[in-house]
Structure 1
Amino acid sequence: MRVGASGNAAGGAPTLAPTPPPHHLQTSERVPAPTAIAAGGDSPRWPSSPLEGQLGAVGVAVPVLVFRPVSSVVVVSPELVVFVVVVVKALPSIPLSLSELTSLPPSPPLPLPELHPALGNISDDCICFCQWWFCFNCLNQCTENDDDNDEDDDDGRGVNAESCAHSDEVDRVCKVIDELFALDRNMEAVLDECGVQLSHDLVMDVLQRFKHARKPAFRFFCWAGGRPGFAHDSRTYNSMMHILGKTRQFETMVAMLEEMGEKGLLTMETFSIAIKSFAASKERKKAVGVFDLMKKYKFRVDADAINFLLDSLGRAKLGKEAQAVFEKLKGRFTHDLQTYTVLLNGWCRVKNLLEAGRVWNEMIDKGFKPDVVAHNIMLEGLLRCKKKSDAIKLFEILKAKGPYPNVRSYTIMIQDFCKQKMMRDAEEYFDEMIDRGCQPDAALYTCLITGFGRQRRMDLISDLLKTMKERGCPPDGMTYNALIKVMTSQHMPDDAMRIYKMMIQSSIMPTLHTYNMIMKSYFVTKNYEMGHAIWDEMHHMGCCPDDNSYTLFIGGLIRQGRSGEACRYIEEMIANGMKAPQLDYNKFAADFSKAGNPGILEELAKKLKIAGKFEVSNVIDSWAEMMRKSAKRREPTYSGGWFT
């Protein structure tokens, strides 16, 4: 893999026009597909019946690519597909030396925010990984101007909006909520006395800090709405709607939507949040019912709104339900290419290629020409169904007939090769893409980094990071998380922390997933002090823990034998509106047996019962009972001088 190459190879194809963004970033405006060369310029057609599939060469797995001209049917057999084989030079198996990796002059480091004291003890020099040396000087240089690529859900602020609220004021308000809500004291009275200068940006920032803790978020929202001189706007309402939808508080969410309607604050984003929330919870009828609310408040139900509903259902793996909604509503709006594309995506997500092929054929019959986005969805569908050979055939036809594969198309193929540990094939596709003038993005590099990480090829990962800098494609948040996952999967949390510090230094804010990976790795390696430090760091950086964060942290406390603290955090978790943690009984049973303290769950259950948390106490008591029964089955019985 020529990770250092740039531009086209000598004699290669001319540079292509800029490729469209990935499907999840595209707008409703479609990219026109170039005219196909063969079969009268028609798009490939997927067989909708066994008879149609038998028109082609024998032995080809369905779906068979069939091109339909105006007056005849031409079947493209595998023999007619030209496969482009790119011969690449074998990769060196010897790792680069430390001096070679550090040959680039280091750039002036950015000021690091104040970290937890325990985190500052980790050296920044290099990472030793199974006798491979991986220096992060090159990584530090290529990420100075990188934008944050947060993996968390949108908070309703908008893609490019920035907050004008003072961070110290936000921290002060959040500290009051944290300390007083958990103690069940009069949080609102203390906030009144604090003299908080409310603004819409401040409310948005506070809600973002508590986006996984609906109860304190809702209490603060109600307090702010009742303050003299302040009134919520559409942004703050939508932010609270988002929190309620994510935590499935649908009655409160709908009541808030109607309150917004009475105040004239409804926007299309409000209805989008409601549709997406219902769809994510598999509530198809309620998602469709949002259209009735749109009509009630004089909002137009057009093709974009229906397409958004169908797409939300499809992304929630409700392809069948999305199709049923389409059949019910298809007479009320004008279908477009995006309509069929989202239906195709819904069926591919549930691995139903037969229905996906039917939608594909209907799309062509209606006069729509599938673009590169539709082809990418079909590629993903074939790979989900383990039909790699068919995906390769479709990819080769795209190169020969068009629309030409974009960076997303190559990423789909390379990601699958990396998952199957077929790195040689991934390298060939990467080099071919470079030769054809299609420039890789951070997502594609992240796939390769993950693949090489599974093989412990840290020398190649270092080369990729240098290449990203040379090509003007700096690592983003997902790239850093992929590097952290490489380390935590090998139980090397200290090395993951070095990457975390580089991430902070590069002005990229870590996500909740970042902290959860590192915290879990420390607890697995029984470094409880550092696990606690990560928990504190997460709060210090203003990242709200979710159910998984609490479960990891509480599990670490129980393994450490600190049942009293575990009880307190379980109470805090429930007070924030989360469910009792779903702990892994088998892992804990083994740990308790080794520690010689099998009664720790009983102690925790008693503490919860005293605290009045009867529901959680009963759950934990049932786990303790399972442990007692399991231990009793393992104990030998003594009868008549013999063990039986």
Structure 2
Amino acid sequence: MPPRLFLFRRLLSTSTSSPAPAPAPRPTDPALLLRLCTILYQHQHDPDDKLHRRLSALSLPTAPSDLRELFLQASARFPLSWRPVHRLLAHLSARHCGASDGGGGFPHSPATAARLLDVLAKSGNTDLLQSTLFSLPRTLLSAAALRAAVRGLAPSREVRKVAALVTLFPECHSARILTFVTDVACSEPCRLPDVAEKVIKRAEHQHGVSRTARCDELLVVAYCRAGSLAEACRVWNGMERRGHEPGAAAYQEIVVTMFKNNRAADAMRVFDGMRRSGVQDDGGACCRAVVSWLCKDGKVWGAYMVFAEMVKIGVEVDGEVLGDLVYGLIARRRVREGYKVFRGVREKDIALYHGLMKGLLRIKRAEEATELFREMISRGCEPNMHTYIMLLQGHLGKRGRKGRDPLVNFESIFVGGLVKAGRTLEATKFVERTMWGGVNVPRFDYNKFLYYFSNEEGALMFEEVGKRLREVGLIDLADILSTYGERMTTRDRRRRAMHGLLESVQSAQDVSC
């Protein structure tokens, strides 16, 4: 559990001594639960008297723990509908109004309060959500409850209501609550950094809560992931004016976003600033991203320097970094150096193989890439979908190339396969190019084609296609398609291939021992 969430959960508890453990609830009767949910669904719009009369006819439990369990089970059947859950809560509260708990008669717990707020948030009833949230005692507000409230109010852009959440807790914890609210608004599934920034400004001006460095860092990361580099730079400059030092996550996101926007020089300046400021790179993630993007841009010398720095500071170098280096060397026609790095790795993984394959395909050496594909399988490294799609694009092109044989070629296999699968609309442009020529076609989606034939019939089809391709001399393409048919067309075949891989690894370990 992250430290900040642990501290947040600590501040939610106001009691000085640990309470006695509550008795375990008894299992809910499935027949009773089914009857209760049926009544709530069928009579959710009926008058209160009629609904209460039907619910009173049920033999509901009386123990508080059993009631809470029944409420949790019933509310789980209505995750997106607030009315059945709210009316059930009203009935239980009216029935147990004599309870000593402060939850309006119903013996609430943090779990039931969080479930109620989650249902109200997902149903979009922001007014009822806010009123319920502020009516609950502070002892019932947990991290899950506050998270559900933010996820319900932020998509509706209720900035005032979200900013008011910091007033639910003591003033000494307001900054920490604001950081938590910003984190929820910027992360999945909200991804609303603009709303989070407005909430921070309103909390500063109206409630006197100062933003933390973590708030600004979350905004920078969220803006970068949303593709708003200008907004991220604006928040970044604001951090420097306030004296806040960005963290490693903010550095990594803004560096990657600058590389994506073809601003490699600015990205390297930010990366150098990170190294001069002494910010610790969490696991070398920023260095890995810089090496990957420098290799993509063809700046292998700069990638080597960052790679040497990673080794110097003790960052673990994995197959992805080495694969990026190999790809950068091969793409710059430095094939001998690329093979030297590749052969120097003792334990090769799929990322390293992919780096070499992608480089060979980049310089139009599809035959060598296919030979590497065969070596990859023989050494026990199981290919994935990306491997097959990359090889098919290397042999046939992203839009499909016409083969030498008039009967066994791209049109007869892939375009005909789309027609056979009933995807005639997707094959229309390719058929027009075959008939008249000179027609601009979109990129052929090999992923969807393999998905359409990922079944037992597809396995037979790939086997037959492999035989025909071998007859006309297209051995490499035949091996790719036939291997996919043997190992990837169905789930059972993928399991058998992976089981064989695990057995080969286990036998190799036994031999080494």
TM range (shorter): 0.3 to 0.5
| Greater fraction of residues in helix | 2
Q: State the structure with bigger RCO (CA 8 A, min sep 6), 1 or 2.
A: 1
What is the TM-score normalised by the length of structure 2?
0.46
TM-score scaled to structure 1, two decimals? 0.38
